[in-house]
Structure 1
Amino acid sequence: MANIIIKGAKQNNLKNISVEIPKHKLTVFTGRSGSGKSSLVFSTIAAESERLLNETYSTYIQNQLTQYEKPDVDAIYHLPVSMVISQKRLGGNSRSTVGTISDIYSAVRLLWSRVGEPFVAYSNEFSFNNPAGMCETCHGLGYVEDIDVDELLDYDKSLNEHAIQFPTFGPDHWRGKRYTLSGLFDNDKKLKDYTKDEMEILLYTEPMKLKDAPDKWPKTAKFEGVIHRFRRNFLINDGFEKNRWLSEVNRVVTEKTCPDCHGKRLNSKILSCKIKGLDIADFTSMTIRENIQFLDSIDHPTASYIIKPLRTQLQSLVDIGLGYLTLARETPTLSGGESQRIKLIRHLNSPLTDLVYIIDEPSVGLHPEDIKNINRIIQSIRDKGNTVLVVEHDPDIIKIADHIIDIGPGAGRDGGTITFEGSYPELLESDTATGRALREQHQLRRAREPQDFIHLGPISRNNLHDISVDIPKQMITAVTGVAGSGKSTLIKTGFRHMDQTIIIDQKPVHASNRSNLLTYTDIFDEVRAFFSKETGLKKSLFSYNSDGACPNCNGKGVLKTELAYMPDFSQVCEVCHGTRYKEEVLAATVDGYSIADVLRLTVDEGVAYFSHHDKITETLQSLQATGLGYMTLGQSLDTLSGGEVQRVKLSKYLIEQVRDHIFIFDEPTTGLHEEDIHVLIDLFNRLVDDGNTVILIEHNLTMMTAADWIIDMGPGAGQDGGRLLYSGPAAGLLDIQDSYTAQHLKHYIK
C-alpha cells in the first residue's frame, strides 16, 4: 500500500517540507506548541482532503459545504478521504443531548414504544422535539422562563429616575416613554409608594388602546404592562434584541423547572408508558452505567432484539470513560474532551475503512487512567484498516504510535521543519525537544509549609455530597482525579462568590479577525502613538480599522468574491498585498520597519524592537513569560488555541503584578509540549512568591510534581466519584490505595 506523500508544504510556518506517512498505521505528530504540527496535519493534509472531496460534488452542493482554500503545498499523493475529529465542543442548544447527538435516544424511544406499558404511541412521539410528544407547557425544554420582577424594578426610584432597570426602558428611551407619556402614572412617585392597583397596571396590563390619551402619546400605539412587553420582546422573540442585551436579559430572566412535566420534557400521555416502573425520562436521567444495569434486568423476547445493539452503544461510552454522563445531559454543557470522545464513538462502530482519521489532542481533559481507554479506541480504529494521524503532547499516547513525526525545533519562525521520523524508542534517543522531555526524570518538589487556609464547604452539588476541604494560601495546589470526579464542581462552586478570585479558563476571548495580540493587551494604541511621534503622521493612520485602512480591501487584507452558485473566492488584496494599510502609511518607517512590518514581528522580536519603550516592552515580556514568544504581534485572536487563549489572559495579570489574589487555572497544560510546561511552572511560582494563591484543576503528571499540595477527588467519575480521597502535601498522596492519581504519579516519579 503506497504511503501518503507530501511534497513542498509551505503552509503558515512550514519550511518547504516533504514527508511520507505510512498508511494503515498510527502516526503521532509531536513538537513544541506552535512548531507547525497543526499547519501540516490540519491546514495541509485535512484541508486538501476535504477540498478535493468537495470538488467531486456539483457546484450547487459545493456552495452548501464548508469552503477550503488550496493549501500552500506543491503536491500530495495517495491521499484518502479524511475524517477530522477536533476538540471543538459539540454545539447545539438545550434540545440537543448526549442521547440525541449519539443517536442512542432513537433506540431508547423504540424500546419504550414497543415494550413499555401501556402502549401509547410509536417511537417518534417519544421525542421531546416532536410536538406530539413534548410537554405543552415548556415545549419540550424541561424548564420555563420567568421574569424576576425584583431584578427588573428598583422600588426606591420613580419612572423619571429609571425605575425600570433595563436598557431602552429609561425615561429618555422609546420603550420607557410608553410609561412616562401614558398619563397613567405620577412619574415622580417612587415605585415603593404605588398602590396595588397602580403596580398591577404598570406590570400586567394586556395590550389596550388608551382612552383620552395625552397629546404626546403616539396615535396608533397601544399601552401594555412592562412584563407583557418584556416577555414579547426578549423571551418570545429570541432574536437580535435579546442577543444585544443578553447579559441584562440573563440578569432579569430566571429559569424554573417546568411545573407540569417537572423537567422531564414530555407530556403526561408519553410519560404514562413505563418499563419496570420507569418512564423514558427516568431512564435518560440515570447514568449510562445505571442504564446498562437496567437493560440487563429486562427479560422480554421483543426487547432483546432492541437491547443488544443499544447496550453495545452504551458500553462504548463507558469504555471511553463517559459512563458517568446521562443521556439527558445537554451537549452545550460538555467539555471539549467529552465532546471529542463522543465524536470518536460515532466512528468506532462505522463499517467504513481505508479512511484517514485525523485526531486533535485526544488527551485533552483526560486523566492518565482515562487515556488508557482512548488508546484502545484509537488502536481499534486503526486495526479496522484505517490510517490514524494524531497531533499530541501526552507521553502515554506518543508511546503507542507505530510511527512518530516531530516538527520543530522551536515554535513559530523557529519551527516548521521535520526534526525526527521513526519509532518511539528512537525518539527517546533523539536530540529533539520531545526526546529530551520524554527522557526527563521527575521528582516531587520540596513543598512549601502552609501558613493559613481557605475553607470551602460543605458543598453539595452534582456528585458532591457535603464535601468540605481546606486549601492552603500562597501555595500551588493541584486538584486531581479522573474526568467527572468532581474537581471543577468543588473548586468553581467553592470559590463562586469569593472576593479576589480570578478564574483563567480556555473559553475563547470575543474576537474577530480585526483584533490581535496588541489590541487584546491594550498596547496597539501605544504602538500607533510611537509611530505617530516618530513619523509625524496622525495616530489614526496607523490603524487598519480607521484612517489607515487600505481603500481597496477596507483593512481586511483579503478580498472575497461571491460567485453566485460557485464557492466564494478569496484572494490577497493586490493593492496592499495583505498588509491592510494605505500606501502612505506603509511608506512611513521607523528604523526601517513599517507598521505592517512590526505586526509581522514575533513577540520575541518585538521585545528587541521596542527595547526603549517601557510600557510596550513590559507587556511583550509578560507574553514571552507565558511561552508565547513565537506568536506574531498581528496574529488574529480568532486563530488562537484554547491553551494559547489561557496564556494570553494570564499575561494581563502578570503586567498588573496582582497580589493577594486566588488564581484558578482550568487545565493550564492544554496544548502544551512537556518542555513548555516548565515555563508555566515558573510563572505559577512567581505568582505565589508575589503573595498569591494558585489552584490548578489538572491531569498532567509533570504539573502535579510541581505542586505543594494535592486535593484528589474520586475514585471514579459521576456516581462513582465525588469523594475527597486526599488533601495534603503531594508526597502523602502516594500512600492512598484507591486513588488512580496516586497509582500513575507513583509510576511517573519512578
Structure 2
Amino acid sequence: MDGQVIAARLPPGLNEKFNDRLDGMVSTPPVPDPAGGHPADGHDAIQVRGARENNLDGVSLDIPKRRLTVFTGVSGSGKSSLVFDTIAAESRRLINETYAAFVQNFMPSQARPDVDALRNLSAAIIVDQERMGGNARSTVGTATDAHTMLRIIFSRLGVPHAGPPFAFSFNRAEGMCPQCEGLGKVPEIDLDELVDRELSLNEGAIKVPGFAVDTWYWQIMAQSGFYDPAVRLKDYTADQWADFLHKPATKVKIGSNSFTYEGLVTKVRRQYLAKDRESMQPQARAFAERAMKLSRCPDCEGARLNPAARAATVAGRTIAECSAMQISDLAEFARGVVDPSVAPVVATLRETLDSMVEIGLGYLSLDRESATLSGGEAQRVKMVRHLGSPLTDVTYVFDEPTAGLHPHDVQRMNELLLRLRDKGNTVLVVEHKPETIAIADHVVDLGPGAGAAGGRLCYSGDLAGLRASGTLTGRFLGHRVGVRQDVRPPRGHLTVEGATLHNLRDVRVDIPLGVLTVVTGVAGSGKSSLIHGYVAGREGVVVADQSPIRGSRRSNPATYTGVLDPIRAAFAKANGVKPGLFSANSEGACPACKGIGLIYTDLAMMAEVASVCEECEGRRFTPKVLSYTLRGRNISEVLAMPVAEAREFFTTGQARTVLDRLAAVGLGYLGLGQPLTTLSGGERQRLKLAINMAKNGTTYVLDEPTTGLHLADVDQLLALLDRLVEEGNSVIVIEHHQAVMAHADWIIDLGPGAGHDGGQVVFSGPPAELVATGTSLTADHLRRYAGS
C-alpha cells in the first residue's frame, strides 16, 4: 500500500499524523537505553522509551513481564497516562489494526500514543472502574454469564418444562413478561410531583415547569370550563379530576378563539416523558426524573419473566428466586443440583459463583442491575471473567482495584492479583494502598508532583529500594495518623429510625452533627444504603460523590465551576468588548474546530484521528479574540493554566474564591480547560465538593473521598475535612481508609458481615473506644494500623 498516495487524499495537516500511524504498523527500530547501554535481549520486559502522553516528560523504563508491578505517585503524576494511555492503549490499537479495514470501522477509535518506542507488548486486558452502563436490562447475572448458565439448567431440568434457554430470558420475547417487557418495572407518574392538591389553580397548584399562574398553558386550563380555577384540587369531583389530569386533546372555545386542551398528565407525558432526557434543558430533565417513577410490575412482581418461566422449578426453586438469592446462598444451592445432563454447566456456574464470593461480591444477587454497582464493584465483576480464563501471558491492567474495599477485603484482592500473576501473566496495577504496594514484585513511582510538576520517573525497582529512595511515596509508606483522643462535641444529632432499605435490619442510629463522622464496614455491609437512602436528600445535605458529571468534551473545570464567568468578565472589561467573545462555545470560537481545538477525522479504514486545528493551532478561539489580553495573557493561555498558576494570576474577586476552593480540595494541578471526560472518579468528587464549599451550616456527605489519593494527599484531605467542621458544618464520610477512621470524631461501623450477614450497627462511638473495646473486623484492622 502506497502511504504517500493515500496521504495525498487526506485533509490538510493530517499527512504527518497519517505517517505516524503507518510507522506504528511496522516494527520500531531499536532505541538506545536511556542509561547509555542497549535494550535487553529477549522478551522479559516491556520497554517504554520516550513516553510523552499528557504530562509525561519523555519517560523511559523497563517493566518486568510475568510479574506484578504497582504504579504509584500523587494524583496527576502521570500513572494513568503511562499505564492506560500509553501501554494499554498501544496494545489495543495494534490488536485492532490486525482486523480488516471494514471491521475496524465499527471498532472504538484508538489514536497512537505519543511515545518513541514500545517493545515486547502483549495483549492488554483493562479491568477498570468504569460503570457498567445504564442499560436496565444488564444485570450482574448477564454481565458474568451466570444467568445464561442458570437458563440452560432450568431449560433442561425445570418442571413443568417451559422450553429452551431463551424461554427463561427476560431480554427475549420468548421469556419476558409482556406487561413490563422484561424490565421488572413499569413507569408511572407521581402526581404529587405534578400538583399540590391543597391549592387551587389560581393559587399555583401546578408544579410542572411552564405551568405557573398566568402562563399560556395555565390560562387554557383555567379558562377551559371543565372545573373552577378557584377550587382546591382536592375538592374536585371525580369527573373534574379526570378532565384535569387525563382528558385527551379536545378543542375548547376561550373568548372568540379556539384552543386545544389536554389534561395535565396527558400533556406532561407528551411534552416531557416521551422525549429523550439527554436533549432536555437541565430544569426540564430534573422535573422528568422526579415525576416519572418506576414501580414494581404488578404482573411479574419484578421477576421480569412470563408466567411459564416463573412457574418452572429446579429443586423447589424458580429461576426468579435463584436470581434474587444472595450469591453466596446461590452457590450453596448450585452444589445441590446433581444431574449428569447438566453437570458441566453446573460445574462452571459453581466456579463462577465461588469466584464472586472469593472476590468479595457474595452479598450481591444476579438480578442486581449493573448500573447500580459502584465503580469498585463493577471492576470486581469484570475481574470474575478473567479468574477462570485459560488465557496466559497477557497483560492485565487494573485501576485501583482496592477502591471501595474494607481492609479485610483488600487482602483477598491481593491474593487474586497474585493468582493472575502466577498463571504467567503480567499484572500492572495503579494503586495507592500500602497493603497492595507491599505485594509488588516491582514498583514504578512517578512524580515528583502533579500536572506540569509531574510526569517524570522518580523510582523503578523493588519495595525495599522504594522505602530507601527518599521519594514522597517512599517516605509515606510507613506514615500513620494517630487515633484522635480529644474528639469534638456534637451539636445535636440526625436520627435515622426503622431503616430497612436493601439489607438494613430495622436500623436506628444517631448521627452526630457538627463533627466528622466516618461510616465504615466491609463492602456490602449497608453503609451506602444507610447514608444515601436515609441521609441524602434531607434539607441542608450536600452529597459529593464520584458519579459522572454531565457534559461533553467541551466541558471543563472552568465551565463546570463557573469560574469562567468572572474570567470572561475580566477580559471583557479590560478590552471594552462583550464577555461572549471569550466563550469557546459562542461567537468567539474558532469556526474551523467550533471551539474544541481539535479536528476529528474519520479515516474509514483506520481509527478516528484527532489532529490539532490548523486554523487556531489548538487555541480554540478566533485570532481577533486571541488579540485581546489580560495582564499580558490571552484567554487561551489562561485556560491552559493549572489551578495553582491561575490562583497567582487572579488574586482577588470571585475567580480567586473559586480557585482557592479547587486548590483546597487538592485539585491545584488540574488545568482550567481540561475536558471533564478525562477526570477520575475521585477528581469528580473533589470538584463537586469545591463547588459546594461556600455553604456553611450544611451537612456534607462524601463517598470514599480517599479514592485516587496518594498517601501524602490524605493528610491534606483530613485538613480539609477539619476545616469544613470548624466552619460550622457536619461532615459524614463513607470510608475504609484507616487514616480517616483514626482522625474521626465519631465512627459508625456496620456489619458484622456483608449482605444478609450485615445491615446492623455493630459500633457507634469515638475511634479510641473502637480500638479499645471493639470486636468487629474494622476494630481489628484499626488496632493493627494504630499499633495497638
TM range (shorter): over 0.9
- Give the letter aligned to residue 665 of structure 1: L
Superposition deviation, residue 392 in structure 1: 0.7
**Superimposed CA distance per residue, residues 99-140 of structure 1 (whole angstroms, 9 cap, x where no aligned partner):** 111110011111112122122212110111122222222222
Q: For the structure 1 residues 584 and 442, does the alpha-carbon distance in structure 2 shift closer, same or farther, using more than 3 Å as the test?
A: same
Structure 2 equivalent of residue 364 of structure 1: 403
* 2:507 corresponds to which of 454, 463, 467: 467
- Give the letter aligned to residue 277 of structure 1: G
What is the alpha-carbon distance in structure 2 between the residues aligned to residue 488 and residue 516 of structure 1?
29
Bigger mean CA offset, 522-531 vs 297-306? 297-306
Q: How does 1:574-613 map to 2 (within 5 A)?
A: 574-611=614-651, 613=652
Structure 2 equivalent of residue 320 of structure 1: 359
Structure 1 equivalent of residue 15 of structure 2: none
Structure 1 equivalent of residue 97 of structure 2: 55
Bigger mean CA offset, 225-234 vs 520-529? 225-234
**Superimposed CA distance per residue, residues 301-359 of structure 1 (whole angstroms, 9 cap, x where no aligned partner):** 43544322111110000000000001111111111000000001111122222211111
Superposition deviation, residue 389 in structure 1: 0.8
Structure 2 equivalent of residue 668 of structure 1: 705
Superposition deviation, residue 463 in structure 1: 1.3
Superposition deviation, residue 505 in structure 1: 1.1
Bigger mean CA offset, 716-725 vs 494-503? 494-503
Superposition deviation, residue 663 in structure 1: 1.6
What is the alpha-carbon distance in structure 2 between the residues aligned to residue 598 and residue 720 of structure 1?
54
Q: For the structure 1 residues 190 and 735, does the alpha-carbon distance in structure 2 shift closer, same or farther, using more than 3 Å as the test?
A: closer
What is the alpha-carbon distance in structure 2 between the residues aligned to residue 287 and residue 336 of structure 1?
20
- Give the secondary-structure state (helix, strand or coil) at the position aligned to 1:38: helix
What is the alpha-carbon distance in structure 2 between the residues aligned to residue 581 and residue 444 of structure 1?
53
Structure 2 equivalent of residue 637 of structure 1: 676
* Residue 345 of structure 2 corresponds to residue 345 of structure 1: no
Q: For the structure 1 residues 566 and 173, does the alpha-carbon distance in structure 2 shift closer, same or farther, using more than 3 Å as the test?
A: farther
Superposition deviation, residue 197 in structure 1: 2.6
Superposition deviation, residue 578 in structure 1: 0.6
Q: How does 1:327-726 map to 2 (within 5 A)?
A: 327-454=366-493, 455-564=495-604, 566-611=606-651, 613-654=652-693, 656=694, 658-726=695-763
* 2:69 corresponds to which of 17, 20, 27: 27
- Give the secondary-structure state (helix, strand or coil) at the position aligned to 2:361: coil
Gaps of 5+ in 1: none
What is the alpha-carbon distance in structure 1 between the residues aligned to residue 648 and residue 280 of structure 2?
47
Bigger mean CA offset, 433-442 vs 182-191? 182-191
Q: For the structure 1 residues 355 and 215, does the alpha-carbon distance in structure 2 shift closer, same or farther, using more than 3 Å as the test?
A: farther
Q: For the structure 1 residues 252 and 610, does the alpha-carbon distance in structure 2 shift closer, same or farther, using more than 3 Å as the test?
A: closer
Aligned-residue identity in percent: 45
Q: How does 1:218-233 map to 2 (within 5 A)?
A: 225-228=263-266, 230-231=268-269
Q: For the structure 1 residues 132 and 70, does the alpha-carbon distance in structure 2 shift closer, same or farther, using more than 3 Å as the test?
A: same
- Give the letter aligned to residue 325 of structure 1: L
Structure 2 equivalent of residue 44 of structure 1: 86
Bigger mean CA offset, 30-39 vs 196-205? 196-205
Q: For the structure 1 residues 200 and 439, does the alpha-carbon distance in structure 2 shift closer, same or farther, using more than 3 Å as the test?
A: closer
**Superimposed CA distance per residue, residues 599-656 of structure 1 (whole angstroms, 9 cap, x where no aligned partner):** 2222222222223x243333222222222111222222222211112222222344x2
- Provide TM-score, normalisation by structure 2: 0.88
**Superimposed CA distance per residue, residues 366-412 of structure 1 (whole angstroms, 9 cap, x where no aligned partner):** 11111112112211222222111111111111111111110011111
- Give the letter aligned to residue 478 of structure 2: R
What is the alpha-carbon distance in structure 1 between the residues aligned to residue 685 and residue 404 of structure 2?
15
Superposition deviation, residue 95 in structure 1: 1.4
- Give the letter aligned to residue 618 of structure 1: T
**Superimposed CA distance per residue, residues 573-598 of structure 1 (whole angstroms, 9 cap, x where no aligned partner):** 11211111222332333443222222
- Give the secondary-structure state (helix, strand or coil) at the position aligned to 1:465: coil
**Superimposed CA distance per residue, residues 133-180 of structure 1 (whole angstroms, 9 cap, x where no aligned partner):** 222222222222222334434556677887654346679888778867
* Residue 316 of structure 2 corresponds to residue 277 of structure 1: yes
**Superimposed CA distance per residue, residues 62-118 of structure 1 (whole angstroms, 9 cap, x where no aligned partner):** 121111111111111111121111110111422111111111001111111212212
Structure 2 equivalent of residue 73 of structure 1: 115
* Residue 764 of structure 2 corresponds to residue 727 of structure 1: yes
* Residue 306 of structure 2 corresponds to residue 264 of structure 1: no
What is the alpha-carbon distance in structure 2 between the residues aligned to residue 572 and residue 241 of structure 1?
29
- Give the letter aligned to residue 142 of structure 1: G
**Superimposed CA distance per residue, residues 467-488 of structure 1 (whole angstroms, 9 cap, x where no aligned partner):** 2222333222211111111112
- Give the letter aligned to residue 571 of structure 1: S
Gaps of 5+ in 2: 1-42
**Superimposed CA distance per residue, residues 445-496 of structure 1 (whole angstroms, 9 cap, x where no aligned partner):** 2332424441332322211112222233322221111111111222233324
- Give the secondary-structure state (helix, strand or coil) at the position aligned to 2:50: strand
Q: For the structure 1 residues 630 and 197, does the alpha-carbon distance in structure 2 shift closer, same or farther, using more than 3 Å as the test?
A: closer
- Give the letter aligned to residue 33 of structure 1: S
- Give the letter aligned to residue 564 of structure 2: F
Bigger mean CA offset, 137-146 vs 582-591? 582-591
**C-alpha contact 2:251 2:258 (8 A) present in aligned 1:** no
RMSD between superposed Cα atoms in Å: 2.8
Q: How does 1:180-199 map to 2 (within 5 A)?
A: 191=233, 194-199=236-241
Superposition deviation, residue 692 in structure 1: 1.9
Superposition deviation, residue 291 in structure 1: 0.6
Bigger mean CA offset, 710-719 vs 670-679? 710-719
What is the alpha-carbon distance in structure 2 between the residues aligned to residue 509 and residue 212 of structure 1?
47
- Give the secondary-structure state (helix, strand or coil) at the position aligned to 1:560: strand
What is the alpha-carbon distance in structure 2 between the residues aligned to residue 502 and residue 324 of structure 1?
28
Q: For the structure 1 residues 246 and 600, does the alpha-carbon distance in structure 2 shift closer, same or farther, using more than 3 Å as the test?
A: closer
Q: How does 1:226-245 map to 2 (within 5 A)?
A: 226-228=264-266, 230-231=268-269, 245=284
**C-alpha contact 1:46 1:82 (8 A) present in aligned 2:** yes
Q: For the structure 1 residues 270 and 242, does the alpha-carbon distance in structure 2 shift closer, same or farther, using more than 3 Å as the test?
A: farther
What is the alpha-carbon distance in structure 2 between the residues aligned to residue 411 and residue 79 of structure 1?
27
Structure 2 equivalent of residue 111 of structure 1: 153
What is the alpha-carbon distance in structure 2 between the residues aligned to residue 626 and residue 211 of structure 1?
58
Q: For the structure 1 residues 194 and 444, does the alpha-carbon distance in structure 2 shift closer, same or farther, using more than 3 Å as the test?
A: closer
- Give the secondary-structure state (helix, strand or coil) at the position aligned to 1:39: helix
Bigger mean CA offset, 179-188 vs 691-700? 179-188
What is the alpha-carbon distance in structure 2 between the residues aligned to residue 498 and residue 192 of structure 1?
27
What is the alpha-carbon distance in structure 2 between the residues aligned to residue 357 and residue 13 of structure 1?
23
What is the alpha-carbon distance in structure 1 between the residues aligned to residue 643 and residue 728 of structure 2?
28
What is the alpha-carbon distance in structure 2 between the residues aligned to residue 228 and residue 635 of structure 1?
43
What is the alpha-carbon distance in structure 2 between the residues aligned to residue 228 and residue 20 of structure 1?
65
**C-alpha contact 1:285 1:326 (8 A) present in aligned 2:** yes
- Give the secondary-structure state (helix, strand or coil) at the position aligned to 2:769: helix
Q: For the structure 1 residues 432 and 161, does the alpha-carbon distance in structure 2 shift closer, same or farther, using more than 3 Å as the test?
A: same
- Give the letter aligned to residue 689 of structure 2: L
**C-alpha contact 2:466 2:474 (8 A) present in aligned 1:** yes
- Provide TM-score, normalisation by structure 1: 0.92
What is the alpha-carbon distance in structure 1 between the residues aligned to residue 253 and residue 544 of structure 2?
58
Bigger mean CA offset, 278-287 vs 638-647? 638-647
